[in-house]
Structure 1
Amino acid sequence: MPGPFADPNTVNPVLLPDGSAHAGTVFLKPVLDHPRIEVGEYSYASAHHPPDDWAAHLAPYLYPTSPETLRIGRFCQIASGVQFITASANHRHDGISSFPFMIFGGDDPMSRPSMPKPGRDTIIGNDVWIGTGATVLPGAEIGNGVIIGAGAVVSGRVPSYSVVAGNPARVLRFRFDAETIARLERLAWWEWPIETILSAEAEICGGDVDALERRAPRVG
């Protein structure tokens, strides 16, 4: 019989053969104490050199006073070297110069002409796998079940269950046909109780959507 599944509030959920915890892998929900970041249960990040501050490591330009948010769904997998470049990193670039005069002194920075307008939130769906060294740019909206290749630079809207790679990232293919994607979006397995998810592990990690639908919790 398999051992108990890691509690979503565990900081280091991966155990090494000697029983010690792997410091370089964390469930994000218990380690992110940042007013502008929302993250779902069981989403994890890895780092070859674990940081003291995971929020600053993943989103270095997202400040407690930033107007935008970073929202990450459940069961996301974030590899080492991934960064989310949120909107507070932006410079104004609609005029002649992009130089940020407002950060080098003078009046209230928020009132200065060089201050860019607030940008969009960055939104990561559920069950998204972000490969090593990928960069997610301000305001990106990544759908459910997306796979992002190592080193990709991602912006804009990324459709659910697509595979994207490159700089700039582009859709290489879809993991399933449109009808199957719609069925998977309706199933939203990531919202099921964890016991149901674990009992359906073979179906979730396999390709039989009919079998997964039979596993879905019944409502009413």
Structure 2
Amino acid sequence: MPFLDPRQPHPITLADGTPYRETVQLAAVIDHPRMEIGDFSYFTHSRTVEETAAILAPYLYPFSQERLLIGRFVQIAREAILITSSANHAMSGVTTYPFRVFSPDTIEGYQDLPFQDTIVGHDVWIGHGATIMPGVTIGSGTIIAARAVVTRDVPAYTIVGGNPATVLRQRFTDEKIADLLALAWWDWPIDKIERALPHLESGDIAALRQV
């Protein structure tokens, strides 16, 4: 029986049998028309489960044009935030003040502003307090350092940090990255993933191919 269950709101159970309620599986607790979230992706915060979507992506509204797409096995630390395109203000005029939002007749009146989906690949680790800016695509296997501000796309299996975030290093060689993306282990059945854990944790790509 697999020990990972995508339906569990709280995926961590402490040694004494107590659920750790501050870590939530996003797909199990979020029902948002503009979010698509893969199984086993989690986020840790100290507020209620019902507030999870608003904490993670506070500017993504049901009427937003953009989407937030999060892959499988994404790990999101406390205080991380994904700022989506609906946070933008019009900048073409004299003022950036969003007058229209203060009337129910015109609150959706900024739909003509440019928008882009924000995309987080699979097996991405977003560190404590990191900020992901609108329209960014983060490749699978990437690590975002704590407090980083990501303003541009990040290639797969890259470590970035700083404000604005810059590349610190590539995690593997180009050849290994191509192999990992082709393997796409995150799409395997969960029982196969659990059998492959020793190889996933050791980085033995040759052994992964034999699972």
- TM class by shorter chain equals over 0.9
Of residues 138, 145, 150, the one that matches 2:146 is 150
Partners of 2:22 and 2:45 within 8 A in 1: yes
Unaligned runs of 5+ in 2: none
Q: Which residue does the alignment assign to 2:42? A: 44
Counterpart of 2:69 in structure 1 is 71
Preserved CA contact (<8 Å) 1:85 1:135: yes
Q: Are 1:61 and 2:59 counterparts? A: yes
Pair 1:189-2:185 in alignment = yes
What's the secondary structure of 2:31's corresponding residue?
coil
Letter paired with 1:130: I
* 1:4 to partner: Cα distance: 4.6
- Call closer, same or farther: CA 1:15–1:104 in 2, change over 3 Å: same
8 Å CA contact retained: 1:91, 1:116: no
- Structure 1 distance, partners of 2:122, 2:89, is 30
Q: Aligned-pair distance for 1:105?
A: 3.1
State the distance in 2 between where 1:49 and 1:108 align: 32
Bigger drift between 48-57 and 58-67 goes to 48-57
| Structure 2 partner of 1:218 | none
Change (3 A) 1:103 1:190: same
CA, structure 1 residues 106+197, in 2 after alignment: closer, same or farther (shift >3 Å)?
closer
- Partner residue of 2:17? 19
For 1:175, give the aligned amino acid.
Answer: R
Superposition deviation, residue 51 in structure 1: 5.0
Where do residues 27-38 of structure 1 align in structure 2 (5 Å cutoff)? Answer: 27-38=25-36
1:179 equivalent to 2:191? Answer no
User: What percentage of aligned pairs have identical amino acids?
Assistant: 49
TM-fit CA distance, 1:101: 2.0
Distance 1:72 1:141, change over 3 A: same
| Alignment correspondent of 2:210 | 214
Name the CA shift for 1:135/1:162 in 2 (closer, same or farther; >3 Å): same
Equivalent-residue separation in structure 2 for 1:52 and 1:106 (angstroms):
25
Residues in 1 aligned to 2:2 and 2:111: alpha-carbon distance in whole angstroms: 51
TM-score, normalised on structure 2? 0.94
Q: Output one character per residue of 1:138-188: Cα deviation in whole Å (capped at 9) or x when no partner.
A: 001000000000001112210000000011011110000111111111000
CA distance in 2, matches of 1:49, 1:110: 28
| TM-score calculated relative to the size of structure 1 | 0.90
Amino acid at match of 2:184: A
Provide the secondary structure at the position in 2 that maps to 1:158. Answer: coil
Gap regions ≥5 residues in structure 1: 216-220
Q: Indicate if the aligned counterparts of 2:29 and 2:50 stay in contact, CA closer than 8 A.
A: no
Aligned length: 211
Q: What's 2:90 paired with?
A: 92
Asked if the contact 2:2–2:190 (Cα under 8 Å) also holds between the matched residues in 1, the reply is no
